[in-house]
């Protein structure tokens, strides 16, 4: 394929993904905003007043960056895993695989769709958070970069899960038993400095902890971990997951009937 043809193929996949989740926005965009609003009310307003300050900020200010990142993670992941598995289940993915479209264009198109939904939900949740607290971004470049890289990372993870899934039930296993525990234990609602030394060490094994803390650093200027180490870790994960995804596409296993 020529570069122009590849560009058309990429646009086709990407805009198909945009149309897919925007067409059913009541199911894809609205629920996470409502869910995060309940978190703001319960943890920020009702409980936060009793907890007091954390890291020199009110509890509401402390928890908002983590909740925004949580919405980005879950929606980037769920968009790709549900979309690609549906294409595999309906055997429509086979038509793309036998076409001249390069595998990296297919992967990039789906990942861009996941990133678009993740960032859209994150933006809406951020707007909703302004009803509860004021956000003063300390470092815009770090904030935008980490939220984008996180969205890419979990879009790739959703793609891999979709390839290995054998049923619609399988695409909910990772969010239920992996993403949810890691997110809740990833410093969204607390600083790991409150934990005993042993559990602080255990928490450092959680990759979501690094993403949440870097995003919090970009907004509030505070972090429990070294920011540059977090960026290195996220980039390394992206490279590994992208390589795995490309291998799965090229091998074609679990993709063709």
What pLDDT does 44 receive? 67
pLDDT tens, position by position, 8-30: 999 999 999 999 999 999 989 99
Say whether 57 sits in a helix, a strand or coil.
strand
The least confident of 8-12, 42-46, 71-75, 172-176 is: 42-46
Lowest mean pLDDT among 36-50, 51-65, 66-80: 36-50
This prediction's pTM: 0.91
- CA Rg, the chain, in Å? 19
Position with higher pLDDT, 153 vs 61: 153
Q: How far is CA 18 from CA 99, 157, 176, 181, 202, in A?
A: 22, 19, 25, 29, 38
pLDDT for the residue 195: 86
pLDDT tens-digit readout, 228-245? 888 998 999 999 999 999
pLDDT tens, residue by residue, 130-139: 988 888 889 9
Better-scored residue on pLDDT, 95 or 10: 10
């Amino acid at each position: 394929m020529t570069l122009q043809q590849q560009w058309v193929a990429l646009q086709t996949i990407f805009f198909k993904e945009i149309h897919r989740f925007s067409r059913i926005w009541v199911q894809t965009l609205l629920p996470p905003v409502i869910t995060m609003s309940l978190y703001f009310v319960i943890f920020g307003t009702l409980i936060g007043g009793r907890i007091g300050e954390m890291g020199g900020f009110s509890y509401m200010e402390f928890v908002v960056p983590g909740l925004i990142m949580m919405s980005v993670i879950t929606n980037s992941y769920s968009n790709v895993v549900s979309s690609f598995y549906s294409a595999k289940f309906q055997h429509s993915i086979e038509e793309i695989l036998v076409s001249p479209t390069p595998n990296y264009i297919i992967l990039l198109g789906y990942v861009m769709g996941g990133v678009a939904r993740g960032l859209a939900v994150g933006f809406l949740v951020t707007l909703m958070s302004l009803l509860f607290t004021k956000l003063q971004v300390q470092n815009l470049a770090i904030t935008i970069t980490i939220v984008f890289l996180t969205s890419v990372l979990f879009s790739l993870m959703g793609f891999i899960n979709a390839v290995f899934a054998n049923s619609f039930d399988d695409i909910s296993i990772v969010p239920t038993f992996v993403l949810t525990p890691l997110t809740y234990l990833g410093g969204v609602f607390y600083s790991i400095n409150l934990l005993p030394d042993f559990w602080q060490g255990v928490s450092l094994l959680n990759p979501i902890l690094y993403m949440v803390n870097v995003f919090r650093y970009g907004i509030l200027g505070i972090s429990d971990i070294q920011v540059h180490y977090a960026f290195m870790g996220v980039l390394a994960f992206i490279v590994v997951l992208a390589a795995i995804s490309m291998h799965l596409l090229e091998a074609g296993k679990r993709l063709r009937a």
